[in-house]
Homo-oligomer: A and B are copies of this chain.
Amino acid sequence: MKFVQSTKSFHSLLALGLITCLCATAQDALPSWNDGPNKRALVQFVTDVTRQGSSFVPQDQRIATFDNDGTLWVEQPMYTQFAFAIARVKAMAPRHPEWKQQEPFKAVLDGDMKAFAASGERGVVQLIMATHAGMTTTEFEKSVEDWIHTAQHPRFHRLYTECVYQPMLELLAYLRANGFKTYIVSGGEVEFMRPWAEQVYGIPPEQTIGSTMKTQLETKNGGPVLMRLPAIDFVDDQAGKPVGIDKFIGRRPIAAFGNSDGDQQMLEWTAAGPGKRLMLLVHHTDAAREYAYDRQSSIGKLDKALDEAKAKSWVVVDMKRDWKTIFPVGKQ
């Protein structure tokens, strides 16, 4: 009976160890978040929807959607995708001698952002069409991969994929560990994110949603290819975010995370469902470690959504106060 006893003890210890381990996981899942009401609200929400009770949500309905620019990674001093487009113009310029005289390309090649700004929305569209279309999906993917693995952020001097927010990486992992399916729902072009989102965020291509270009099936070298056409298919921003969520996911999220007025409708759409809901905005308040901007910013403007968040008691992350670290440790 000694053996039986010791076996039992061993298993009891194991069970106890397991329980201790689970508790530790729950408590330390967000180590880069300072203790306070916001961290507590996150943990409380996850506890509520995963624990049997009136707020319980079945696992297949635990959908969480995250904006990307300014929510998961840096969007200042310009959207990363815009930096990519500029790099592409420079790389493609030798094959386009006419660009030396032609706006908005001349401005981009001269590094004259004021002149580029003067080309307005038409300039932006021309830039995107020239750099994001007229090639196969495979060719475009390669151009993204080549660039994203070498290009550095001008201020932080690290890869853009290392200018991601450590507290949000922890939040993504914490949600997934609790049975959530995590999605990106970004205004950025989807094929610009898919080549690296899985490695960086743990979010696979099929859960990465963004704006799309029209594509067309063609034959090249005897095989089928998808050509990226110079035409916008879908803009996944503002009122487009609920449309994209419905189109691509077909379920309403129970948690949504953003940082700008472009995310307001996604958070409203999430809030409008039944049961427990979590709506969160990242407020950029840390000029020293990252950036401080909101109502007056041309990039990531946070104005109306901030008012609504306060009125409706959504979680508003104060980056300076709530986050112990900004970027992944060991890479800063």
**How far, in Å, is A269 (CB) from chain B's closest CB?**
5
Cβ of A31 within 8 Å of any chain B Cβ, yes or no, is: no
Known: A223-B272, A242-B224, A242-B226. A247 touches B205 (CB 8 A): no
Task: Name which residue of chain B comes closest to A268, CB basis.
Answer: B224
Bin chain A's interface residue count: 20 to 34
Determine whether the beta carbon of A217 is less than 8 Å from that of B190: no
Count of identical protomers in the assembly: 2
User: Across the interface, which residues of B come within 8 angstroms of A268, CB to CB?
Assistant: 224
Query: Which residues 164-219 in A have Cβ within 8 Å of B in the complex?
Result: 181, 190-191, 194, 198, 204-206, 208, 212, 215-217
In the complex, the answer to whether B206 meets A247 with C-beta atoms within 8 Å is: no
Determine whether A265 belongs to the interface, using a CB cutoff of 8 Å to chain B: yes
Provided the pairs A251-B205, A251-B206 are in contact, do residues A239 and B216 lie with their beta carbons within 8 angstroms?
A: yes
Residues of B within 8 A of A269 (CB): 217, 224
Closest to A205 in B: B250
Question: Bound complex: CA of A212 vs CA of B243, how far in Å?
Answer: 11
Contact, CB under 8 Å: A246 / B208: no
How far is A250 from B210 in the complex, measured between Cα atoms in Å?
Answer: 11
Please tell me if the beta carbons of B265 and A239 are within 8 angstroms of each other in the complex: no
A residues sitting closer than 8 Å to B (CB atoms) are 3-4, 60, 137, 181, 190-191, 194, 198, 204-206, 208, 212, 215-217, 223-224, 226, 233, 239, 242-243, 246-251, 265, 268-269, 272
